[in-house]
Amino acid sequence: MRLPSRLLGATALALLAAHLPARAQEGDSVTLDTVVVDGEADGGTGPVEGYVARRTLTGAKTATPIEAVPQSVSVIGREELDDRAVQTVTDALRYTPGVVTQPFGFDSDTDWFFVRGFQGTQTGVYLDGLNLYQYAFAGSTIDPFFLERVEVLRGPSSALYGGGNPGGVVNLVSKRPTGERLRYVEGAIGDEPNGWAAFDMGDRAAPDSPWSYRVLGRVQGGETQTDYADTFRGMIAPSLRYEPDAQTRVDVYGFFQYDNLRHSTNFLPYEGTVVDAPFGRIPRSLYTAEPDLDRYLSRQMLAGVDAETTLDNGVTLRSNTRVSRTEREELFPYTFGFTDPATGGSFLSAPVDASSLLTRLNFGHDTAADSLTTDNNATVRFDTGALDHTLLAGIDYKFYRIDQEQASGTASAIDPIRPRYTNVLPPLGSPYIDERIDLNQLGFYAQDQVRFGGGWITTLSGRYDRVWIDRDDHLAADDDYDGREGALSGRAGLGYEFSNGVVPYVSVATFFNPQLGTTGDGRAVEAEDGEQVEGGVKWSPTDFDGTFTASVFDLTRRNVVQTDPLTFLPVPLGEVRSRGVELEGKANVTDGLKLIGSFSYIDLEIRDDVDVDLIGNRPYLIPEVTASAWADYTVLGGALDGVSFGLGVRYLGESYADNENTAKVPDATLVDAAIRYEQADWGVSLNASNLFDKRYVAGCQGLLNCGYGQGREVIAKAHISW
């Protein structure tokens, strides 16, 4: 189904704007309801009870029951994150339908994930509702100890957020002051070994003071499954809250994270990982850089103000603003196919014989990125006859600047079985990228959520964006460019809530996603656009605590861009369609039993491409079927009171290794487990992911670039609070 974005966006905006004069004409007949501002209890941002969240702020920018959002929404709360001993954002998303994590294999420096078949790491990550825009190597990796919950809104979200991954966005919700006393310390050690120490402290300044604070910190380091690839991370996150009354809240927060590591990422060929080479299989622990020269340094700094107040007339005003800076510097050689020692031929997809070596290329970059993001909106609830409205209107602005220099060079080949490190690398060549790019995006949006007829729920969302992109190429003035682009996007949804908690729904949405980047011939990359139709059923049972969602979708994405792994330059892929089915269930069945289950079937198809031979094929990397289940049981009473057990199973289906669909990556079934003992103010736990140490390839992006999935990881943790 094709729905023109201008028609949908203009219709939604017109309908919403029509309420304003109507409301003014009705005068005294309009009744304003009080909007609850308590962000912790009712605002869709606070702690989740067990595994089941009731409200979300991500799905509608208003505190909305999950079943009333006309798209699929998943929420992973702090209790679930702790039960599974989550160490990265990708760990948090492992049991979420429609999401594929670590598709390139184990990677200690980037949180890679795909939603509904599309990469979301660069444009699909949000922190507290504001985009953590990422481009090239200026990535963000937020330590999950900083987070209260992780929310996934699947499908396009342009109507509310502007640009974003059309497959879905991941909104990271940070821990904030609560006004309560917090004294928490934890320590852990892993089997690599790799461990950490962390603290979470907070309190009110005085018993009756409107001021409260919270400070989080974490230090982590040690070895990984890749030889020599050790890591170090330090994180500190202070925040301050001013809450003079029940109607007003102001949060001021900061975040600093420092990472220093050696690279764990390997770009390994299909032959030697998925299938045997003449020498057998490449070890999962192979390190392909040079230990003394490998360099990865990252500094991330965030500071923001988030304020909310409700006026006497019932209008709620919110302003959310954040500035950030990311600095990254890297130098390392990486592999790219095989080298024939006899002829010196390189970049071969298959080894000539058992003596073949892995070709290596050297790469380095120096990158800095700055951003300013602000979102300001007003929400009001009112009735017009039999219609109950929640009207939202806002304006947001995003500035992003990246300054980057990239260069490459040669490096000696390396033996995949018996590597020898010389700690010598030839100098890098002259930079092939030396540029500064500025992005400015201004958006106006509005939304009306209408309840009527005893159970009907209608959501109309509309937005207009204006984008300015300017590039200053320091290598060639002829390659400078500036772009001006504008677009309408919208979302329309309809659902009906039955008395037993069942809500069937249908929605249609269009999206517009500006992209930074320059094609190989010096042109600016065009913005993505497309549309989605989604339908499904949500159920919030009345007799036990749970949420269940079944959805089907048809999503088309145009102007799709992938990165050439050799040149790191964007290459347009054309048009891709994603269709599928997703199932999810979460339940606090009893006080001691919590369950999670998910299933996804995603049918991806290349609809248009510069290589016509690829049309009709399935893009590489993404499995057609994924599924997962997690059960957690706590003994209540008796001699084992406080003991709990967790067991999870994850299934990754087959995927293609190349867009030509000539080679496949086999499926894999992984088992996770946990055992814990908890008392009121202390506890210990033992978690294992990939318990049976399954050796598998997570995915391939071509026959020269495959990555091993993470092996078994065992973590022993202890915590105390007072």
Please indicate, yes or no, if residue 2 is contained in any of the structural domains.
no
Closest CA relative to residue 195, chosen from 712, 719, 717, 720: 717
Q: How far is CA 96 from CA 155, 586, 588, in A?
A: 14, 11, 17
The answer to whether residue 132 sits within a structural domain is yes
pLDDT value of position 562: 64
Span of 240-249, 427-436, 564-573, 597-606 with lowest mean pLDDT: 564-573
Q: What is the pLDDT of residue 394?
A: 98
Of the candidates 583, 601, 501, 499, the one whose C-alpha atom is nearest the C-alpha of residue 536 is: 583
Are the beta carbons of 435 and 410 closer than 8 angstroms?
no
Cα distances (Å, whole numbers) of residue 65 to 70, 362, 453, 545, 606: 11, 51, 18, 14, 36
Q: What share of the chain has pLDDT > 90, as a percent?
A: 86
CA distance 293 to 373: 36
Q: Look at residue 593 in the predicted model and tell me its pLDDT.
A: 98
Q: How far apart (Å, rounded) are the C-alpha atoms in residues 139 and 132?
A: 9
Taking the C-alpha atoms of residue 557 and residue 168, their distance in angstroms, rounded to an integer, is 12
Query: Rounded mean pLDDT of 193-218?
Result: 97
pLDDT at 26: 38
705 domain residue, yes or no = yes
Long-range contacts at 423-427 (CB < 8 A, ≥ 24 apart): 423/290, 423/291, 423/292, 423/293, 424/290, 424/293, 425/290, 425/293, 425/331, 425/333, 425/362, 426/362
Nearest alpha carbon to residue 61 among 342, 463, 406, 430 = 463
* Residue 139 counted as domain residue: yes
DSSP 8-state assignment for residue 498: -
The whole-angstrom separation of Cα 686 and Cα 379 is 45
| 10 has pLDDT over 50 | no
CA atoms within 13 A on the CB side of 354: 4
- Domain presence at residue 5: no
For residue 441, pLDDT beyond 90: yes
176 contacts 253 by C-beta, under 8 angstroms = yes
Dist CA 43 CA 61 (whole Å):
10
Q: Which residues contact 385 (CB under 8 A, 6 or more apart)?
A: none
Q: How many alpha carbons lie under 13 Å from residue 431 in its C-beta half-sphere?
A: 14
pLDDT confidence tier of residue 574, bands split at 50, 70 and 90: confident
Q: Is the pLDDT of residue 668 over 90?
A: yes
Query: For residue range 585-629, what is the model confidence (pLDDT) as tens digits?
Result: 999 999 999 999 999 999 999 999 878 899 999 999 999 999 999
Lowest mean pLDDT, pick from 36-40, 58-62, 511-515, 636-640: 36-40
Average per-residue pLDDT for the chain:
92
pLDDT at position 22, please?
38
User: pLDDT by residue (tens digit) across 471-495?
Assistant: 999 998 777 888 888 999 999 999 9
The residue segments making up the domain with residue 66 are: 11-423+430-721
pLDDT band at 344 (very low <50, low <70, confident <90, very high): confident
Nearest CA to 495 out of 66, 158, 67, 152 is that of 67
Token code pair at residue 18: 């029509």
154 contacts 578 by C-beta, under 8 angstroms: no
Question: Which residues contact residue 468 at a Cβ distance below 8 angstroms, ignoring those fewer than 6 apart?
Answer: 438, 439, 440, 441, 482, 483, 484
- Residue 260 clears pLDDT 90, i.e. is over it: yes
Taking Cα atoms as reference points, which of 60, 260, 21 lies closest to residue 171? 60
Number of domains in the chain: 1
Asked if residue 594 is part of any domain, the answer here is yes
Specify the DSSP element, H or E, that contains 277. none
* Cα–Cα distance measured from residue 156 to residue 632, given in angstroms and rounded to the nearest whole number: 33
* Residue 481 identity: Y
What pLDDT sits at residue 570? 65
6 domain residue, yes or no = no
Q: Are 210 and 244 in contact (CB under 8 A)?
A: yes
pLDDT digits (tens, 9 = 90+) for 16-37: 333 333 333 333 333 334 333 3
pLDDT one-digit tens code per residue, 115-167 = 999 999 999 999 999 999 999 999 999 999 999 999 999 999 999 999 889 99
CA 136 to chain centre: 16
Assess if residue 349 is contained within a domain.
yes
CATH number at residue 95: 2.40.170.20
Residue 7's φ and ψ, nearest 5 degrees, are -65, -50
Phi, then psi, of 109 in degrees rounded to 5: -120, -5
